[in-house]
Amino acid sequence: DGGITQSPKYLFRKEGQNVTLSCEQNLNHDAMYWYRQDPGQGLRLIYYSQIVNDFQKGDIAEGYSVSREKKESFPLTVTSAQKNPTAFYLCASSAEFWGAVSNQPQHFGDGTRLSIL
Protein backbone atom coordinates (compact mmCIF):
# COMPACT_ATOMS: atom_id res chain seq x y z
CA ASP A 1 0.00 0.00 0.00
CA GLY A 2 1.25 3.48 -0.87
CA GLY A 3 1.51 5.94 1.93
CA ILE A 4 3.54 8.10 4.26
CA THR A 5 5.25 6.53 7.25
CA GLN A 6 6.34 8.59 10.23
CA SER A 7 8.38 7.22 13.09
CA PRO A 8 8.50 7.04 15.98
CA LYS A 9 4.90 7.59 17.03
CA TYR A 10 6.01 9.03 20.39
CA LEU A 11 9.35 10.67 21.20
CA PHE A 12 10.79 12.21 24.33
CA ARG A 13 13.57 14.76 24.30
CA LYS A 14 15.98 15.55 27.10
CA GLU A 15 17.31 19.04 27.76
CA GLY A 16 20.05 19.95 25.27
CA GLN A 17 19.38 16.96 23.04
CA ASN A 18 18.75 16.89 19.31
CA VAL A 19 16.16 14.41 18.09
CA THR A 20 15.30 13.30 14.56
CA LEU A 21 11.84 12.46 13.27
CA SER A 22 11.61 10.15 10.31
CA CYS A 23 9.29 10.57 7.30
CA GLU A 24 9.26 8.14 4.37
CA GLN A 25 6.83 8.04 1.44
CA ASN A 26 6.33 5.52 -1.35
CA LEU A 27 3.86 7.61 -3.36
CA ASN A 28 6.55 8.88 -5.74
CA HIS A 29 5.64 12.42 -4.68
CA ASP A 30 8.11 15.19 -5.41
CA ALA A 31 7.08 17.61 -2.67
CA MET A 32 7.31 16.94 1.06
CA TYR A 33 6.40 19.09 4.04
CA TRP A 34 6.78 19.25 7.81
CA TYR A 35 4.14 20.85 10.01
CA ARG A 36 3.79 21.44 13.70
CA GLN A 37 0.39 21.36 15.44
CA ASP A 38 -0.17 22.68 18.94
CA PRO A 39 -3.41 22.00 20.86
CA GLY A 40 -6.31 24.00 19.48
CA GLN A 41 -4.12 25.43 16.74
CA GLY A 42 -3.90 25.00 13.02
CA LEU A 43 -0.95 23.49 11.23
CA ARG A 44 2.14 25.65 10.92
CA LEU A 45 4.72 24.97 8.22
CA ILE A 46 8.26 24.26 9.40
CA TYR A 47 10.10 23.28 6.21
CA TYR A 48 9.21 22.08 2.74
CA SER A 49 11.02 20.50 -0.17
CA GLN A 50 9.87 20.42 -3.78
CA ILE A 51 12.81 18.44 -5.15
CA VAL A 52 15.67 16.29 -3.95
CA ASN A 53 18.61 18.21 -2.46
CA ASP A 54 16.57 21.37 -2.09
CA PHE A 55 14.40 22.64 0.74
CA GLN A 56 12.96 25.91 1.96
CA LYS A 57 12.12 27.39 5.35
CA GLY A 58 8.49 27.67 6.31
CA ASP A 59 6.93 30.02 8.83
CA ILE A 60 8.56 28.56 11.97
CA ALA A 61 11.90 27.06 10.88
CA GLU A 62 13.99 28.33 13.80
CA GLY A 63 15.31 25.48 15.92
CA TYR A 64 14.67 22.86 13.23
CA SER A 65 16.71 21.38 10.39
CA VAL A 66 15.93 19.03 7.50
CA SER A 67 17.61 17.14 4.69
CA ARG A 68 16.31 15.75 1.38
CA GLU A 69 18.93 13.34 0.08
CA LYS A 70 16.40 10.92 -1.37
CA LYS A 71 13.02 11.53 -3.01
CA GLU A 72 11.23 9.27 -0.57
CA SER A 73 12.76 10.58 2.67
CA PHE A 74 12.53 13.93 4.47
CA PRO A 75 13.78 13.69 8.08
CA LEU A 76 13.28 16.54 10.54
CA THR A 77 15.74 17.28 13.34
CA VAL A 78 14.48 19.18 16.35
CA THR A 79 17.57 20.84 17.77
CA SER A 80 18.30 21.98 21.31
CA ALA A 81 17.74 25.55 20.05
CA GLN A 82 14.01 24.82 19.82
CA LYS A 83 12.98 25.76 23.36
CA ASN A 84 9.35 24.68 23.11
CA PRO A 85 9.40 21.47 21.09
CA THR A 86 6.36 19.78 22.65
CA ALA A 87 3.87 19.36 19.80
CA PHE A 88 2.34 17.00 17.27
CA TYR A 89 4.59 16.84 14.18
CA LEU A 90 3.05 15.99 10.83
CA CYS A 91 4.78 15.10 7.60
CA ALA A 92 2.94 15.46 4.30
CA SER A 93 3.66 14.94 0.63
CA SER A 94 2.11 15.95 -2.68
CA ALA A 95 2.67 15.40 -6.37
CA GLU A 96 4.65 18.12 -8.07
CA PHE A 97 3.06 21.50 -8.46
CA TRP A 98 3.34 22.35 -12.13
CA GLY A 99 1.64 25.59 -12.81
CA ALA A 100 -0.13 28.63 -11.47
CA VAL A 101 -3.60 27.13 -11.44
CA SER A 102 -4.03 24.36 -8.95
CA ASN A 103 -2.20 22.55 -6.21
CA GLN A 104 -2.09 18.85 -5.82
CA PRO A 105 -3.58 17.81 -2.46
CA GLN A 106 -1.25 17.09 0.42
CA HIS A 107 -1.52 13.75 2.17
CA PHE A 108 -0.38 13.24 5.74
CA GLY A 109 1.42 10.59 7.74
CA ASP A 110 0.15 9.50 11.15
CA GLY A 111 2.32 12.00 13.02
CA THR A 112 4.89 11.98 15.82
CA ARG A 113 4.14 13.32 19.29
CA LEU A 114 7.20 14.94 20.83
CA SER A 115 7.45 15.76 24.52
CA ILE A 116 10.15 17.08 26.82
CA LEU A 117 11.42 14.84 29.59
Partner 1 sequence: QKEVEQNSGPLSVPEGAIASLNCTYSDRGSQSFFWYRQYSGKSPELIMFIYSNGDKEDGRFTAQLNKASQYVSLLIRDSQPSDSATYLCAVNAAGGSQGNLIFGKGTKLSVKP
- Which residues contact partner 1 by CB under 8 A? 31, 33, 35, 40-45, 48, 50, 56, 58, 90, 94, 97, 100-103, 105-111
In the complex, minimum distance from the CB of residue 97 to partner 1, in angstroms, rounded to a whole number: 4
Contact 111, 90 (CB under 8 A): yes
Contact 57, 49 (CB under 8 A): no
In the complex, minimum distance from the CB of residue 53 to partner 1, in angstroms, rounded to a whole number: 17
Closer CB to partner 1, 25 or 94, in the complex: 94
In the complex, minimum distance from the CB of residue 92 to partner 1, in angstroms, rounded to a whole number: 8
In the complex, minimum distance from the CB of residue 69 to partner 1, in angstroms, rounded to a whole number: 20
What contacts 68, CB < 8 A, 6 or more positions away?
32, 49, 51, 52, 53, 54, 55, 74
Distance CA 88, CA 42 (A): 11
The amino acid sitting at 63 is: G
Closer CB to partner 1, 3 or 62, in the complex: 3
Closer CB to partner 1, 52 or 80, in the complex: 52
